[in-house]
């Protein structure tokens, strides 16, 4: 039965499509009627190695025959050590201590709890448009759309919001947006949350759900230096931008900075639920053992899938592929922008690319929806993002080929043409 018409499934689950999927392979999904779709959603940035990559399937199979579960508060197991060994060489400098959980929101929860314990401070600074999850704490930190927060008050206190340097939205050049954002952050620390009460500043190195916004060069460095000035911990939320998605292993590498804590999920394990935080060892002395945990975190199957995913990313040089295919995609989208002025902006890094519909102050939501629907009819799956839902985000698997990018763009152009008024 189609999940969207199954009366026993919760309606709180929205569905971008009514597809009932049978199987997946590489960049393709096959529905129950045998129709093939080019999946440029990657399950919201999860299936970076493509659907059912043989090496990930093999790692999961092998591990499931040995040990399905080993609870981390009770025992240790080899897959968690293997995962750590795979992670260590790709981490930003100084991040050498790991805690594992199951979802992005849980990783963010862990990061904030650690920051509060390590600093003895209570407050958290977030950026406008961020998405950090849907648990009560992470929802309170999420400002990408009101739907995530409305009806849940009172939210968790001690969370303060400051503007992200979203140049296209403000209609400014990058430098003006950068200066504004840093000025407002400093003002927030002088007017609302005293540095002595501020545990951390959490930032998405590329804004995800809030619009696939690449911040101007210098932004992450400036946040890092404000954190250093006031003894505030910097948390980079790499849940969406991590594991090669940006064309580097982690998007913070673009500014050569290292956060104190980094959150990871989505692309880490090719679809098997796994998330984690990486942090500096010295913070560990201030995190009381037992003050955080969870039954399933670091389970052996997820760890085996995670270790295999990192191996595949390296062996198949997928981070390099991401950069090349991302450049191909952005160049072609910019060409389309000249032909279809409804595309107000094209931006991105690696295979985290946005085409924003409408002009500043006039988001074209209906055209965005129409184009995505028309593309789906022709076999291309795309998602929107942004506060107003007027941004098409391009997140194909990192294994995507030149031909598949061209195929996707061809369908997108036909969808633009068909939806022209």
Report the residue number whose CB is nearest to ligand PLP.
104
- Cβ proximity to ligand PLP, 28 vs 145, nearer residue: 145
Structure tokens at 270: 């090719």
Cis peptide bond prior to 383, omega within 30° of 0 = no
Rounded distance, CA 256 to CA 214, Å? 15
Rounded distance, CA 415 to CA 245, Å? 26
Nearest approach, Cβ of residue 400 and ligand PLP (Å): 20
DSSP letter at 252 equals G
Rounded distance, CA 101 to CA 265, Å? 9
- Cβ proximity to ligand PLP, 41 vs 181, nearer residue: 41
Rounded distance, CA 402 to CA 420, Å? 27
Q: Which residues bind ligand PLP (CB under 6 A)?
A: 44, 103-105, 108, 131-133, 204, 208-209, 237, 239-240, 265
Task: Identify which of 21, 56, 15 has the alpha carbon closest to the alpha carbon of residue 37.
Answer: 21
Rounded distance, CA 306 to CA 268, Å? 6
Structure tokens at 137: 């704490």
> By the 8 A CB rule, do 164 and 127 touch?
yes
- Cβ proximity to ligand PLP, 90 vs 385, nearer residue: 385
Nearest approach, Cβ of residue 105 and ligand PLP (Å): 3
Residue-wise DSSP of 257-315 = ---SEEEE-GGGTTTS--EEEEE-HHHHTTS-TTSS--SSTT-HHHHHHHHHHHHHHHH
- Cβ proximity to ligand PLP, 237 vs 404, nearer residue: 237
Task: Identify which of 163, 230, 239 has the alpha carbon closest to the alpha carbon of residue 205.
Answer: 239
Nearest approach, Cβ of residue 250 and ligand PLP (Å): 12
- Cβ proximity to ligand PLP, 106 vs 413, nearer residue: 106
- Cβ proximity to ligand PLP, 105 vs 372, nearer residue: 105
- Cβ proximity to ligand PLP, 237 vs 356, nearer residue: 237
Nearest approach, Cβ of residue 144 and ligand PLP (Å): 9
Nearest approach, Cβ of residue 227 and ligand PLP (Å): 19
Nearest approach, Cβ of residue 138 and ligand PLP (Å): 7
Coil vs helix vs strand at 99:
strand
Nearest approach, Cβ of residue 104 and ligand PLP (Å): 2
Task: Identify which of 80, 73, 133 has the alpha carbon closest to the alpha carbon of residue 109.
Answer: 133
Nearest approach, Cβ of residue 238 and ligand PLP (Å): 7
- Cβ proximity to ligand PLP, 103 vs 419, nearer residue: 103
E strand or H helix at 29 = strand 28-31
Q: Look at the block and give the residue holding tokens 């407002």.
A: 184
- Cβ proximity to ligand PLP, 267 vs 344, nearer residue: 267
> Listing from the earlier edge strand, what are the strands of the sheet with 28-31?
21-25, 28-31, 36-39, 380-381
Nearest approach, Cβ of residue 241 and ligand PLP (Å): 7
- Cβ proximity to ligand PLP, 50 vs 273, nearer residue: 273
Nearest approach, Cβ of residue 143 and ligand PLP (Å): 12
Q: Cα torsion at 37, 38, 40, 43 (round to 10°)?
A: 50
């Amino acid at each position: 039965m189609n999940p969207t018409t199954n009366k026993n499934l919760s309606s709180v689950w929205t569905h971008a499509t009514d597809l009932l999927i049978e199987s997946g392979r590489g960049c393709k999904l096959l529905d129950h009627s045998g129709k093939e779709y080019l999946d440029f959603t990657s399950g919201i940035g999860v299936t970076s190695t493509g659907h059912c990559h043989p090496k990930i399937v093999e790692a999961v199979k092998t591990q499931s025959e040995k040990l399905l579960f080993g609870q981390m508060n009770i025992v240790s197991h080899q897959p968690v050590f293997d995962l750590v060994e795979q992670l260590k060489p790709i981490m930003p400098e100084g991040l050498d201590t790991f805690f594992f959980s199951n979802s992005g929101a849980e990783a963010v929860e862990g990061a904030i709890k650690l920051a509060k314990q390590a600093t003895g401070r209570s407050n958290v600074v977030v950026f406008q448009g961020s998405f950090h999850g849907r648990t009560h704490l992470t929802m309170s930190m999420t400002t990408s759309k009101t739907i995530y927060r409305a009806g849940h008050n009172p939210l968790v206190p001690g969370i303060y919001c400051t503007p992200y340097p979203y140049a296209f939205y403000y209609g400014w050049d990058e430098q003006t947006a950068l200066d504004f954002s840093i000025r407002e952050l400093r003002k927030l620390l002088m007017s609302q949350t005293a540095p002595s009460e501020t545990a951390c500043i959490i930032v998405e190195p590329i804004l995800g759900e809030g619009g696939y916004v690449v911040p101007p060069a210098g932004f992450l460095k400036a946040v890092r230096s404000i954190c250093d000035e006031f003894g505030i911990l910097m948390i980079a939320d790499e849940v969406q931008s991590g594991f090669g998605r940006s064309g580097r292993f982690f998007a913070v590498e673009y500014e050569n900075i290292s956060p104190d804590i980094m959150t990871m999920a989505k692309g880490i394990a090719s679809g098997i639920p796994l998330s984690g935080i990486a942090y500096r060892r010295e913070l560990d002395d201030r995190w009381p053992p037992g003050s955080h945990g969870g039954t399933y975190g670091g389970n052996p199957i997820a760890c085996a899938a995670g270790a295999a995913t990192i191996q595949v990313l390296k062996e198949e040089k997928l981070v390099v592929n991401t950069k090349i295919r991302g450049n191909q995609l952005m160049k072609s989208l910019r060409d389309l922008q000249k032909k279809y002025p409804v595309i107000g902006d094209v931006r991105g890094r690696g295979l985290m690319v946005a085409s924003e519909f409408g002009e500043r102050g006039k988001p074209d939501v209906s055209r965005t929806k129409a184009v995505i629907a028309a593309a789906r009819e022709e076999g291309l799956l795309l998602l929107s993002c942004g506060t107003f839902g007027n941004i098409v985000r391009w997140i194909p698997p990192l294994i995507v080929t030149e031909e598949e990018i061209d195929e996707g763009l061809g369908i997108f152009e036909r969808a633009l043409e068909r939806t022209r008024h």
